[in-house]
Structure 1
Amino acid sequence: MNDNQKLLKAKSYLDKLANGINPVTNEIVPESDTINNIHISRCLFYISDVLRNVIEGNTGSPKKKSSKAPFSITAQQLASYPFTNEPITVTEITKNINALIDADEMKGLKTTSITNWLIEIDFLEYITDEKGKNHKFPTEKGTQLGILTQERLGMYGTYKVVLYNSNAQQFILDNIDAIATYNTAKKS
């Protein structure tokens, strides 16, 4: 494997990690995993961009992205959303939505925008575990909508993942404009 191939492989791994995917198994990591921390994800995207510049022969630091338009999506774009029979994570929902927009021209939707909005309207809530860590879980309203939890086995033992059935996914799409306002809001 030559140096350029090694750089391309490293960039591929960084891109997957930045998007919350285990680059070895191609599985989506739990939302509570450190790799999904927004600061780490941004760092990985930055380093991936540096590698892209190296691969392309640009030796300067990566250019600051031109200001992209805020996230928005049309009804026509949403009509192409790929619903599944199996419930999926909010990370997968976000990726499916972002795949429908022009990411070169527009900022993507953030997973936290969806979850923060669902918390605001009382479909999700934070529950503190015995170790003092906060986790998001569906409220009774959320469960009735089609937000559920599933126990999974991960590298560090069992954990609960929050999943969204097609009804909950449709609810998110139906309210995408309200969610988009959370995408542009700054954390206080």
Structure 2
Amino acid sequence: MTELEKIAYAKIYVDKLANGINPLTEQQLPDSDIINNVKISRCLFYVSAILGQVIEKEGRSQRNVKIVKAPFQLDYEARKGFAYSEVPISISEVTRRINELIQPEEMKKLNYKHVADWLIQAGFLTIVPRDDGKMVRKPTDNGMQLGITTEQRQGQEGIYTVVVYNKEAQQFILDNLDAVIEISQR
């Protein structure tokens, strides 16, 4: 008997017990039997459902099923669908819009950090210390010429500075997406 057949056999027993039937004699158990307690019965129905899922997945429990996603890629045709913003947007918003163009259940998403890392390597962003010692990204002179700027925004903890990308900078990122993808796959 295979492991899957054993699981199917166990499910039959659990189903019978959940329905108040002795699986060995096929007789209905008295209402006073502990197996007919509502909590026990519900538990057995739950176990039966899990065993059913394992059988459907050919012996693998749901937790053991690991979906292997393809590395991020975006063909040139799909890139044409990018929703450019006329107002400057953050790198996380640029990346979110790029990720909208893929099938996320089949492919890994692009992380905004990979875009930022590429912009740092290419000389459009730099990392500088803030007054409190925290390291932050800031556009270089080349970055500002490209359309990367900073904005002051109000958050829960007060005013903060965010790096934003105008339409030309967004286009530049899309035009160089292959270089970003290369960094993301290292």
TM-score, length basis structure 1: 0.65
Deviation, structure 1 residue 69: 1.0
Deviation, structure 1 residue 183: 1.1
CA deviation map 1:132-186 (0-9, x unaligned): 100001000000000010011111111101000010000000000100011122x
Matches within 5 A, 1:105-144: 105-144=106-145
Deviation, structure 1 residue 92: 0.5
Deviation, structure 1 residue 62: 3.6
- In structure 1, list runs of 5 or more residues that go unmatched: 1-56
Q: CA RMSD in A?
A: 1.8
Distance in 2 (CA, whole Å) between partners of 1:65 and 1:108 is 16
Matches within 5 A, 1:77-88: 77-88=78-89
Distance in 2 (CA, whole Å) between partners of 1:63 and 1:96 is 31
CA deviation map 1:106-142 (0-9, x unaligned): 1111100000000001100001011110000100000
Distance in 1 (CA, whole Å) between partners of 2:169 and 2:107 is 25
SS at match of 1:72: coil
CA deviation map 1:39-66 (0-9, x unaligned): xxxxxxxxxxxxxxxxxx88x6744532
Matches within 5 A, 1:1-188: 62-63=63-64, 65-185=66-186
SS at match of 1:84: coil
SS at match of 1:103: coil
Which amino acid in structure 2 is aligned with residue 85 of structure 1? Answer: E
Distance in 2 (CA, whole Å) between partners of 1:171 and 1:125 is 17
Distance in 2 (CA, whole Å) between partners of 1:110 and 1:157 is 26
Which amino acid in structure 2 is aligned with residue 128 of structure 1? Answer: P
Bigger radius of gyration, 1 or 2? 2
TM-score, length basis structure 2: 0.65
CA deviation map 1:70-105 (0-9, x unaligned): 111011100000011111001011110001011111
| Aligned residues between the structures | 129
> Percentage identity across aligned positions?
39
